[in-house]
Amino acid sequence: MILGWHVSGSFGYAQNAQTLLVTYMNSFYNYSGNMRRRWGKVNVGFGAGASRTALTAVAGTANSSESYNASVGYGMWLTATGSYSKASGQALATGGDWCRFPCLRPLCLRAW
């Protein structure tokens, strides 16, 4: 607790290792934080988070996202919330999409 606020947060990072079977490297990180406070029957809370991932050796494969939220409530009868999110980057939705990236072509089922 900091000055009456309940505060929490997290951070994560990972990077895989390139091998003979895995011919690409991927890195990923994310972080988030939340804070909330109560004044009598009034509750207030805020939160934010972000993440980023990319194939390290292939330009144009980065993806990122951000999200924010806030809430205010009165007792158990009334709560108002709001949120905002945005994302950007190149999505790899299906195996067919992977084939556009030379480092992922071994994963494709169709012949080149």
Question: What's the pLDDT score for residue 62?
Answer: 78
Cβ distance 27 to 56 under 8 Å?
yes
**85 has which bridge partners?**
67
Q: First CA to last CA across the chain, in angstroms?
A: 58
Which of the 8 DSSP states describes residue 12? Answer: E
Write the single-letter amino acid at 18: Q
Question: What's the pLDDT score for residue 68?
Answer: 96
- Nearest C-alpha neighbor of 72 from the set 106, 40, 36, 104: 36
Query: Which two tokens mark 24?
Result: 């690409």
Enumerate residue ranges in the chain where pLDDT < 70: 18-24, 56-58, 90-112
